[in-house]
Amino acid sequence: MLLSQGWVRDYYVSDSIAAETIQPFGNLLLSRLPFTAVEHEFSTHKKAMVGNWFINSELLQVAVVHLTSSRAKKSAEKRKHQLKILLNHLYKQSGNYLIVGDFNTRNNLEGVPNITNFIDVWQKLRPDEAGYTFDPQINPLAKLMSLEGEAARLDRILLSSENGAWVAKYVNLFACKPVENTQNTIYPSDHFGIRAVVSRKNKKNLKNITSRYLTSLSLSKKG
């Protein structure tokens, strides 16, 4: 269904038409620039998709995650373990890194090795705003899926860049309104999307890199 949309033909997609990595659900990367991708398996049902770009001979890695939800037993331990595995993979190559997606935690990511090398883009740019991406008070789908009925900032964009080469310029939420003609009851997802503009600083002898949108929108109701 996604590949049948006209707009998607402007993008490279991390899966084939057979959708091998999203059976029945999973993570996708879409990019206007060609890239390579690797799927990292945490367990049978939990995986991360990591894309790799070389921009002006510098490596940029973007990992898309959907970490274990609080519905699972020992969920906090599982999320910590998943991030540890992912970070070990990313740090095998020097460069710049982003981790985006549904982190499924209301708390800060303390206790995860090497996560302090990342900045939370929302906290960096909009520290005085809650930035809830899961809000049962507004979104009926979130209310249906919620265990506690509380709003939370479950979806995040994290950035780590060598020598501050890549910087976050802008971040906001999107897909925050109901689908037309549904009597305000159906939203695109039980989560709102989050998107950011990140930019490569000018560097001598290198052309300026145009800012790119990084977006995350959870379309699965699975935990």
Which tens digit of pLDDT belongs to each residue from 113-161?
A: 789 999 999 999 999 999 999 999 999 999 999 988 999 999 999 999 9
Of all residues in the chain, what percent are helix, strand and coil, respectively (each to 5)?
Answer: 15, 30, 50
Q: Which domains does the chain have, with CATH numbers?
A: 6-216 (3.60.10.10)
pLDDT of 219: 59
Which tens digit of pLDDT belongs to each residue from 145-202?
A: 998 899 999 999 999 998 889 999 999 999 999 999 999 889 999 999 999 999 998 7
**Average pLDDT for residues 5-31, to the nearest whole number?**
90
Calpha distance 101→63 (Å, rounded): 8
**Average pLDDT for residues 6-11, to the nearest whole number?**
95
pLDDT of 75: 92
Calpha distance 51→129 (Å, rounded): 30
Beta bridge partners of 63: 50, 99
C-beta of residue 29 within 8 angstroms of C-beta of residue 62: yes
pLDDT of 67: 95
